[in-house]
Amino acid sequence: MTHTNMYQQKLVSAAEAVKAVKPGDWVDYGICVGHPVATDKALAARAGELNDIKVRGGITMWMPEICTTPEPAKHFTWNSWHCTAVDRKIIEMGLGYFSPMRYSELPKLYRENIEKVDVAMFQVAPMDEHGYFNFGPQASHLMAVCERAAVIIVEVNQNMPRCLGGFEEAIHISKVDHIVEGDNPPLAQLKANAITDVDRKVAELIVAEIPNGACLQLGIGGMPNAVGALIGESDLKDLGVHTEMYVDAFVDLTLQGKINGSRKSIDRYRQAFAFGSGTRKLYDFVHNNPHVMSCSVDYVNDVHRVASIDNFVSINNAVEIDLFGQISSESSGIKQISGTGGQLDFVLGAYLSKGGKSFICLSSTHGKSGEVKSRIVPTLAPGSIVTASRTCTQFVVTEHGKVNLKGMNTWQRAEALISIAHPDCHDNLIKSAENMNIWRNSNRV
């Protein structure tokens, strides 16, 4: 049977495809711009006849239709691998939960620990001449999901870019149960926040530490975006990319001639990533582009692989850091904000890299005018999750300076972190450090 004949045989409406979902099922939606649209809407239409449907998703960029049905918690439970503002809203609505994990382990979790995947449904690029549906800019863990799924539904979107890679970036039509042709909605766009003065000051301190030929990993947020902008204004050259998330900054730097991957010790001349989200500029750039490499996350985020790349520079945000050097980047108390993602993997891998450096950046304060609070705190708020332990932390950067905590004892760490806190917070932090016996009187000036 030809691929075309097989395609026609498996082509069904969204309503027909989601009949595969039964009460009590576990359903996987994929992540990010790969979340289904037509099949999600069709599943929502069945809410009245379904109960105990447990859906896995994450990095959610729009509100799923199943979460907008009347009394959705009676029918659906949302389980997020990584929270966005949308995921947080779903949790607040009372039908969502966070699923803790190290992102690098997610494919293995599916293959060895996830109890079952009854139905997998996600958006893909149109089938190619060889019968493959490309996952688009979210290879991530989708092949592992498909290997476990009892039923696989692909929702074709003509706007989904075809992201090259070499392994686990596409699924063959022979493995697919149902094909749905959606309305080809434009991909959701993630626009970078405007760069603030604080972002720029932090970025200046980090860019000064980046050598020519470095391999970059940028997290999401204003500060990593500012680093990209300042690199574009610098004399740096021959940079490489090996990153969990591919963002617009990498496109800009490539077009500016800053990124070519010529000095990478693996995957030379290619930019490796696990998932990508940005503006239309990014989606157009990654489409059929052999310079970028869409890979499963257990390849990209593997600590040993990161460590094998010389001069690896990892740049990520944090919510808070305490005077012991513990980093909380995913929650504020018990309120889930994002997730562990790959931060711990890149913090570890970058330090192990020959010439590598790991940077955790954050503004010194947060809050509205008159309610300013320090992000450098004596101890993390009760319930706050430690994303990277104190033994892993290397560089910490605020607009007031940068410090390298490696090799420091507790009083040295306290002194270093207080030195880059907001000046108005110094006295209270010193008092707390004294009470915790991590301050030496000789430090006071």
Cα(136)–Cα(126) distance, integer angstroms = 10
Both tokens assigned to 249? 């900054």
Would strands 292-294 and 312-317 be described as parallel, antiparallel, or unpaired?
unpaired
CA angle 220, 29, 24 (to 5 degrees): 135
Alpha helices in 235-316 (DSSP H): 248-255, 280-286, 297-300, 303-307
> How many residues does this entry show for the chain?
445
Show Cβ contacts of residue 320 under 8 Å, excluding neighbours closer than 6 positions. Answer: 327, 328, 332, 362, 375, 376, 377, 380, 381, 384
| CB atoms closer than 10 angstroms to residue 436 | 16
| Cα–chain center distance at 238 | 25
Cα(326)–Cα(389) distance, integer angstroms = 5
Contact by Cβ (8 Å): 314, 291: no
Cα(300)–Cα(244) distance, integer angstroms = 6
Show Cβ contacts of residue 176 under 8 Å, excluding neighbours closer than 6 positions. Answer: 10, 133, 152, 153, 154
Cα(72)–Cα(66) distance, integer angstroms = 7
- Residue type at 148 in one-letter notation: R
Start-to-end Cα distance in the chain? 81
Both tokens assigned to 292? 């970028």
67 DSSP assignment: G
Output the CA–CA distances (angstroms, integers) from residue 294 to 23, 82, 135, 188, in the order listed: 35, 19, 9, 19
Q: Tell me which of 65, 155, 168, 244 is the catalytic residue.
A: 244
**Hey, which residues does 27 pair with through a beta bridge?**
55, 119
Beta strands in 254-318 (DSSP E): 271-276, 292-294, 312-317
Annotated active-site residue 415? The verdict is: no
Contact by Cβ (8 Å): 30, 142: yes
131 DSSP assignment: S
Contacts 24+ apart (CB under 8 A), 428-431: 428/374, 429/323, 429/374, 429/376, 429/378
Catalogue the active-site residues: 244
